Amino acid sequence: MSKFLFRSLCLFSLLSTLSCVSARPKVSTVPAPQNVVLSETHYRKEYVWVPGDQVEVTVRRVPEVSRAVVIRPDGFITLPLVDEVKAAGLTPSELKQTLTKLFSARLNNSEVTVIALQVPPPVVYVLGEVNNNTAVPLRNAPTASAAITYAGGFRRSAKSGMTSIIRLGEDGLIRAIPVTDTAKGQPGGVIGMRGVLLQADDIIFVPESGRSQVSRFLDDFVNRPMSTVNGALGLYVNFRWLQQIQ
């Protein structure tokens, strides 16, 4: 074998090895199972109308009252015959039931269809000891670290090492998932917050430093989720977790 051919084969082998190493995916921080708080019951998620949503309301055989409307900042829509109707905070099926009842008082055998024409992009929510409890577009906050930065960062009173993601799993259980990195020498939970990708409607919860029974507050999120979320945000949330009967 010539020296040129031998060197070429060695170079090809080295490049192939480096390619395999560089293609190896980065591993996100995964919390130990015993640290995850699980809900006691199963839930399903339904979309909830929020201000700014564009809704098409169709009344069969009555085109003069059918139209596309935008939910106003006060949460209401305006339609012929029924006038002002509160839409924000309702699921599509609830709004359909409400409109069917209202139109039935003025029309015979009214059949109402409600279709979403335009809804906001996916978001995540940041709650607790951050400067602004807020909803954040998912495209602007792919990780917990980015979402917290978008929300103005931690308050001085924050116990950042206890930050958790509240998430509804495919199995119907709500989880409070720690995003801290417990590896020795790592700066608190910063590495963990950068390493875990968020999903639509995730809730990033930052507890207060020095407050006792942090696990009790996490339990509130997984077992009384919507009352806790709505109470903390004080604004419209575009989903609702509904308890499933097993």
Per-domain residue ranges for the chain?
33-46+121-243, 54-118
Q: What is the pLDDT of residue 216?
A: 62
Give residue 217's pLDDT band: very low, low, confident or very high (50, 70, 90). low
Q: What is the mean pLDDT of residues 211-222?
A: 62
With H, G, I as helix, E, B as strand and everything else as coil, classify residue 240. Answer: strand
Closest to 92 measured CA to CA, from 238, 229, 236, 230: 238
pTM for the structure as a whole: 0.72
> Terminus-to-terminus CA distance in the chain, angstroms?
72
Task: Tell me the average pLDDT of the chain.
Answer: 78
With H, G, I as helix, E, B as strand and everything else as coil, classify residue 8. Answer: helix
- Which helix (H) or strand (E) is 97 found in, with range? helix 92-104
Closest to 112 measured CA to CA, from 125, 91, 93, 126: 93
Structure token digits, residue 132: 């602004």
pLDDT at 135 over 80: yes
Question: 210 versus 56: which is more confidently predicted?
Answer: 56
Helical spans, DSSP H, in 118-242: 144-150, 190-195, 214-223, 225-233
CATH of domain 54-118: 3.30.1950.10
Q: How many whole angstroms separate alpha carbon 176 and alpha carbon 123?
A: 18
Give residue 215's pLDDT band: very low, low, confident or very high (50, 70, 90). low
pLDDT at 22 over 70: no
Contacts of 135 (CB under 8 A, 6+ apart): 123, 124, 125, 233, 235, 237
Contacts of 205 (CB under 8 A, 6+ apart): 127, 128, 163, 164, 165, 166, 176, 217, 218, 221
CA torsion angle for 66, 70, 73, 79 (degrees, to 10)?
-10
Q: How many whole angstroms separate alpha carbon 124 and alpha carbon 63?
A: 38
pLDDT at 164 over 50: yes
pLDDT tens column, 77-93: 999 999 999 999 899 99
pLDDT at 15 over 50: no
CATH 3.60.40.10 fits 33-46+121-243, yes or no: no
Structure token digits, residue 19: 């390619």
Of 17-31, 93-107, 185-199, 201-215, the least confident: 17-31
